[in-house]
């Protein structure tokens, strides 16, 4: 039996996928309301294919509980935030999960940590705790790191098809875990050592963050001298060895906006390019806010309450708002002692903000300036409703005469 610890965006789909492919699975989470909902067959976030997957998993016998199980295989998928002061990974949730595992686990158990961690986290934080509790690593308990590689909006496909990395002290244990993942994963699964597995996941997301930062910095340079950054990128990308990404209003989510900071925190004198790239990405919501004020001044708008932000999630067509650029922009506005921006997102149905709307037409009727923060399909399909509005398009998807860009 596999006990999956943490039933969020990563742990829950993983548990369901394993159960649907014949593995006996019990999912554990401290959140009683979440566990109750899952046992009733209700998914707590939107994702294509997830409803069908939970039906298959429930039919196969998956159970959910707040209790850790006595078994020989655990998958830990709990949050790993970063310390905003020193930029280091905060391993507290992982440490807590491992401690609880050791209270009930069988001898010879394998603990697979899927949570993204900085290189050396298992050596610095997990091994000492295991040994302090009287466990002999490699005999009483085996440690493995198998970082996830999925993204909200495409979780089911990527669970099945993305390549995976498994880091283990013992190659035989690594192969055993590989066999478990092979039950549902069609991608290539590489077995390596733990520290290499830790590093590769962080490096993958850092690569993406640095490339996004380059595009964002280009947008600032081009704005400074009134050049069209999109046209420049389009022409540059005609070169066979150039592939510049598109600039945007910032970076959010659970990976690209967080993981690169782990390297900055652990290697502050070495990770200079990464540090500057992350600062560039983090500055974009403020850059957008400044553009709003510039456009308001140019157009003679005086009431910030007539400005609306379209999109609250960190990416298109999902309901995930973690670290979203819109949230960062709203926080920045509050730091400047100003409030009043209206917000709307078709994927966020709960009231979580003041001045939040739940209908596109009502939202548009209440504002003069629309700031497109997220390129949901909805706004792409309703461009005609923006004809009489002033638009700040942060995603380069609205092609009308009255459109401004970042």
Among the options 178, 201, 315, 375, which is catalytic?
Answer: 201
Question: Average pLDDT for residues 237-258, to the nearest whole number?
Answer: 95
Among the options 255, 315, 342, 375, which is catalytic?
Answer: 255
Residue 338: pLDDT over 70:
no
Is 255 a residue of the active site? yes
Residue 238: pLDDT over 90:
yes
Residue 151: the pLDDT is: 84
Q: What is the 3-state secondary structure (H, E, C) of the chain?
A: CEEEECCCCCHHHHHHHHHHCCCCEEEECCCHHHHHHHHCCCCCCCCCCHHHHHHHHHHCCCEEECCCCCCCEEEECCCCCECCCCCCECCHHHHHHHHHHHHHCCCCEEEEECCCCCCCHHHHHHHHHHHHCCCCECCCEEEEECCCCCCCCCHHHHHHHCCEEEEECCHHHHHHHHHHHHCCCCCCEEEECHHHHHHHHHHHHHHHHHHHHHHHHHHHHHHHCCCCHHHHHHHHCCCCCCCCCCCCCCCCCCCCCCHHHHHHHHCCCCCHHHHHHHHHHHHHHHHHHHHHHHHHHHHCCCCHHHEEEECCCCCCCCCCCCCCHHHHHHHHHHHCCCCCCEEECCCCCCCCCCCEECCHHHHHHCCCEEEECCCCHHHHCCHHHHCCCEEEECCCCCCCCCEEEC
Q: Give percent of the chain with pLDDT exceeding 70.
A: 99
Residue 180: the pLDDT is: 97
pLDDT in tens, 42-53: 888 888 889 999
Cα maximum dimension of the chain: 72
Question: Average pLDDT for residues 107-112, to the nearest whole number?
Answer: 96
Is 103 a residue of the active site? no
Residue 380: the pLDDT is: 96
Domains of the chain with bracketed CATH? 2-193 (3.40.50.720), 227-405 (3.40.50.720)
Residue 2: pLDDT over 90:
yes
CA distances from 141 to 64, 108, 121, 135, 179 (A): 24, 5, 17, 7, 18
Question: Average pLDDT for residues 188-192, to the nearest whole number?
Answer: 98
């Amino acid at each position: 039996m596999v006990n999956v610890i943490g039933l969020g965006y990563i742990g829950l789909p993983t548990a369901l996928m394993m159960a649907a492919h014949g593995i006996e699975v019990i999912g554990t989470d401290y959140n009683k309301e979440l566990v109750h909902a899952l046992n009733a067959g209700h998914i707590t976030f939107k994702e294509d294919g997830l409803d069908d997957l939970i039906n298959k998993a429930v039919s196969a016998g998956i159970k959910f509980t707040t209790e850790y199980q006595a078994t020989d295989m655990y998958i830990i998928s709990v949050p790993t935030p970063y310390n905003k002061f020193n930029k280091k990974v905060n391993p507290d949730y992982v440490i807590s999960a491992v401690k609880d595992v050791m209270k009930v686990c069988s001898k010879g158990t394998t603990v697979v940590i899927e949570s993204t961690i900085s290189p050396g986290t298992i050596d610095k934080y997990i091994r000492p705790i295991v040994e302090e509790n009287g466990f002999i690593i490699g005999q009483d308990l085996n440690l493995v790191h198998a970082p996830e590689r999925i993204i909200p909006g495409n979780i089911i496909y990527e669970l099945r098809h993305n390549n995976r990395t498994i880091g283990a002290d013992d190659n035989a244990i690594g192969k055993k875990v590989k066999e478990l993942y092979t039950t549902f994963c069609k991608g290539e699964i590489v077995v390596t050592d733990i520290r290499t597995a830790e590093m590769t996941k962080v490096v993958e997301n850092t690569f993406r963050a640095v490339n996004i930062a380059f595009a964002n910095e280009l947008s600032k340079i081009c704005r400074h001298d009134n050049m069209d950054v999109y046209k420049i990128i389009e022409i540059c990308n005609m070169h066979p060895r150039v592939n510049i990404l598109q600039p945007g209003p910032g970076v959010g989510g659970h990976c690209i906006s967080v993981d690169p900071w782990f390297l900055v925190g652990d290697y502050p004198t070495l990770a200079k390019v990464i540090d500057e790239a992350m600062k560039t990405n983090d500055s974009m919501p403020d850059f957008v806010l400044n553009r709003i004020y510039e456009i308001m001044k140019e157009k003679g708008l005086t009431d910030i309450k007539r400005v609306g932000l379209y999109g609250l999630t960190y990416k298109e067509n999902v309901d995930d708002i973690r670290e979203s650029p819109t949230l960062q922009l709203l926080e920045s506005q509050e730091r400047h002692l100003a409030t009043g921006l209206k917000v709307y997102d078709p994927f966020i149905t709960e009231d979580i903000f003041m001045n939040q709307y739940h209908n596109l037409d009502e939202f548009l009727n209440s504002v003069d300036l629309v700031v497109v923060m997220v390129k949901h399909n909805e706004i792409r399909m309703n461009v005609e409703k923006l004809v009489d509005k002033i638009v700040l398009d942060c995603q380069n998807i609205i092609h009308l005469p009255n459109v401004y860009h970042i």
